[in-house]
Amino acid sequence: MVEVRAKKRKVLIVDDEESVLELLEDVLADEGFQVRRAENGREALDMIARESFDVVLMDIRMPEMDGMEALRRIHEQSRKTGVILMTAYATTDVAIQAMKMGAFDYVLKPFDLDEVVMVIKKAVGVQEMAGELDDLRLQLGQVYQPGTIIGSSPAMQEVYKTIGRVAASTATVLIRGESGTGKELVAQAIHFNSNRHQGPLVKLNCAALPESLLESELFGHERGAFTGAVGRKTGLFELAHGGTIFLDEIGEISPATQAKLLRVLQEKEIQRVGGTETLKIDVRIVAATNKNLERAVKEGAFREDLFFRLNVVPIFLPPLRERKEDIPLLAQYFLSKYSREFDKPVTGVSPEAIRLLNNYAWPGNIRELENVCERAVIMAQGRFILPEHIPMGIQTEQLGIDLEVTRSRLPLKEIVADIERQVILRVLEETNWNRTMAAESLGLNRRSLYAKMKEYGIEG
Ligand SMILES: Nc1ncnc2c1ncn2[C@@H]1O[C@H](COP(=O)(O)OP(=O)(O)OP(=O)(O)O)[C@@H](O)[C@H]1O
Ligand SMILES: [Mg+2]
């Protein structure tokens, strides 16, 4: 999974049983690790204070200081060392507790030595990644701040420049882009970078309301304007006076409302529904749509004059699949957001996981990426997001698995089992039925792979 480079990595093994220490030292030295040993948590802590280790492999039950306590103290000093715990007591309690405390992983005694080596290699790989990721975090300043627009792709640079250029003016802006590309975020940025930033920013999703309500929402109404209009209502345009109004999904408004909106844009004044009084307003309009408005104009569904009035400054937000170079930065950003929100010290995404994210088409764009990152933080057990924390859908698309099975009306369990069987078979074939390699590639230990093969009747 993670390649271990030539440099000798240092592993500290901690156990109160001499025989265990000897066995592990032999095996790990054979694997090319530099191995040191300690007999209990206290001794381990002393050693870690003096020299640095890439990985600590530590028993939980020990005299003097047990593994849990030592883990806690190691992390107090630094989170850079990957700690793997060993236990003979496979209760979920211990497992959950260990992972919650930030252990990289745990292995069960008696050992499956292959598994121990695999987990250590994985932990070492993760330590190596940490260096590369530090660069990324530096680039990002590491802080999550609501409202920040992330992305350094040329397309996004253009967007920033345009925001900067138009912010100071009162020009109407039309933001275009697929769902989830950040249109609302850009609208916000325009407002907060303008000299109206102390005025109100009022938002309305035009698609969310039926025509009659939309008009009274936008322009307000006088008492008795229609059945149910018991009092006068102030419209959003009035509320946005001195600030900005963001009209989302502008492509959805009816011809009648289009006509009224055009008038607002031309005359800079409104009339409440059922009223005669004309009110001057000073409002900057930012609109957004994921519709092809040019086509709507051709088809007669959207007024051409209104389109031109709105489209004074167009901003086009490219779909995520066209600016994949932004994916690592965005992922890192959402990671810092959710690791803070869930109070989990997840600090980076492994290269394999990034590769999965890069190869996916992201129909839901950044919103979808954000959801995937949120879920991954919840699933993560250590400091890093690994492929197994990425939803199957994103992985299966890349495996070319046909999700048409969802139409089979089979219970979810059977669908998943069928996909799992296909994946295992495929990987076994790809590795020439080398089970160690197949298990590694699937992120399973060999025992689990054997169990699954048996369950699905797969025979070598
Ligand atoms: N460049 C970005 N950097 C950081 N977060 C972003 C970026 N773009 C979008 N987001 C986040 O992704 C989510 C979706 O963005 P937003 O609501 O602005 O999209 P939208 O284009 O308005 O989508 P829709 O058309 O579905 O309304 C939000 O949580 C937003 O904060
Ligand atoms: Mg939106």
The alpha carbon of 180 and the centre of ligand 2 are apart by a number of angstroms equal to: 7
CA nearest ligand 1 atom 23, residue: 180
Model pLDDT, residue 133: 58
The alpha carbon of 129 and the centre of ligand 1 are apart by a number of angstroms equal to: 28
Which ligand neighbours the alpha carbon of 180 most closely? 1
The alpha carbon of 213 and the centre of ligand 2 are apart by a number of angstroms equal to: 20
| Nearest ligand 1 atom, CA 182 | 18
Which tops the pLDDT comparison, 101 or 238? 238
Which ligand neighbours the alpha carbon of 184 most closely? 1
pTM above 0.85, yes or no: no
Average pLDDT, the chain: 86
**pLDDT, tens digit, 9 for 90 and up, residues 299-310:** 999 999 999 999
Is residue 129 pLDDT above 70, yes or no?
Answer: no
Please check whether residue 289 is in contact with residue 174, taking contact to mean a CB–CB distance below 8 angstroms.
yes
Return the bridge partners of 107, or none: 86
| Nearest ligand 1 atom, CA 370 | 12
Please check whether residue 286 is in contact with residue 246, taking contact to mean a CB–CB distance below 8 angstroms.
yes
CA nearest ligand 1 atom 30, residue: 182
Residue 401, token pair as written in the block: 């698995």
Which tops the pLDDT comparison, 4 or 430? 430
Model pLDDT, residue 4: 38
Peptide bond into 210 cis (omega under 30): no
Report d(CA 125, CA 130) in Å as an integer: 9
**pLDDT, tens digit, 9 for 90 and up, residues 218-230:** 999 998 888 888 8
Ligand 1 pocket, residues with Cβ under 6 angstroms: 149-151, 177, 179-185, 290, 366-367, 370
Which tops the pLDDT comparison, 392 or 7? 392
Model pLDDT, residue 272: 92
One-letter amino acid identity for 272? R
| Nearest ligand 1 atom, CA 186 | 18
The alpha carbon of 337 and the centre of ligand 1 are apart by a number of angstroms equal to: 14
The alpha carbon of 332 and the centre of ligand 1 are apart by a number of angstroms equal to: 16
Pick from 183-192, 332-341, 408-417: least confident: 408-417
Report d(CA 281, CA 273) in Å as an integer: 16
Q: CA nearest 430: which of 420, 441, 421? A: 441
**Choice from 159, 173, 181, 336 to test ligand 1 binding pocket (greatest atom count within 8 A of CB):** 181
The alpha carbon of 197 and the centre of ligand 2 are apart by a number of angstroms equal to: 20
Is residue 353 pLDDT above 70, yes or no?
Answer: yes
String of DSSP letters for 184-248: HHHHHHHHHTSTTTTS-EEEEEGGGS-HHHHHHHHHEE-TTSSTT--S-EE-HHHHTTTSEEEEE
**Choice from 174, 293, 366 to test ligand 1 binding pocket (greatest atom count within 8 A of CB):** 366
| Nearest ligand 1 atom, CA 156 | 1
**pLDDT, tens digit, 9 for 90 and up, residues 360-373:** 999 999 999 999 99
pLDDT average, residue stretch 33-56: 93
Pick from 40-44, 138-142, 430-434: least confident: 138-142
The alpha carbon of 182 and the centre of ligand 2 are apart by a number of angstroms equal to: 7
| Nearest ligand 1 atom, CA 147 | 31
Is residue 425 pLDDT above 70, yes or no?
Answer: yes
Report d(CA 222, CA 239) in Å as an integer: 15
CA nearest ligand 1 atom 12, residue: 367
**Choice from 185, 191, 246 to test ligand 1 binding pocket (greatest atom count within 8 A of CB):** 185
Report d(CA 84, CA 22) in Å as an integer: 18
One-letter amino acid identity for 112? D
Residue 420, token pair as written in the block: 């799992």
SS3 of 329-387: HHHHHHHHHHHHHCCCCCCEECHHHHHHHHCCCCCCHHHHHHHHHHHHHHHCCCCEECH
**pLDDT, tens digit, 9 for 90 and up, residues 81-91:** 889 988 876 55
| Nearest ligand 1 atom, CA 317 | 21
Is residue 38 pLDDT above 80, yes or no?
Answer: yes
Q: In order of start, what are the domains of the chain with their CATH numbers?
A: 10-138 (3.40.50.2300), 155-319 (3.40.50.300), 323-400 (1.10.8.60), 403-460 (1.10.10.60)
Is residue 173 pLDDT above 50, yes or no?
Answer: yes
The alpha carbon of 116 and the centre of ligand 2 are apart by a number of angstroms equal to: 48
Model pLDDT, residue 2: 40
**Choice from 201, 289, 367, 369 to test ligand 1 binding pocket (greatest atom count within 8 A of CB):** 367
Interior angle at CA 71, CA 66 and CA 75, nearest 5: 155
pLDDT average, residue stretch 281-290: 96
| Nearest ligand 1 atom, CA 290 | 25
Question: What letters, b where the CB count within 10 A reaches 16 and e where it falls short, cover 71-106?
Answer: bebbbeeeeebbbbbbbeeeeeebbebbbebbbbbb
The alpha carbon of 186 and the centre of ligand 2 are apart by a number of angstroms equal to: 10
Model pLDDT, residue 392: 80
> Which element (helix H / strand E) includes 72?
helix 67-77
Q: CA nearest 311: which of 284, 296, 293? A: 293
Please check whether residue 394 is in contact with residue 360, taking contact to mean a CB–CB distance below 8 angstroms.
yes
pLDDT average, residue stretch 171-182: 96
Is residue 434 pLDDT above 80, yes or no?
Answer: yes
The alpha carbon of 449 and the centre of ligand 1 are apart by a number of angstroms equal to: 40
Is residue 142 pLDDT above 50, yes or no?
Answer: no
Residue 407, token pair as written in the block: 């139409």
Residue 316, token pair as written in the block: 């086009």
Is residue 257 pLDDT above 60, yes or no?
Answer: yes
Is residue 35 pLDDT above 50, yes or no?
Answer: yes
Please check whether residue 57 is in contact with residue 70, taking contact to mean a CB–CB distance below 8 angstroms.
no
Please check whether residue 290 is in contact with residue 176, taking contact to mean a CB–CB distance below 8 angstroms.
yes
Residue 441, token pair as written in the block: 């590639």
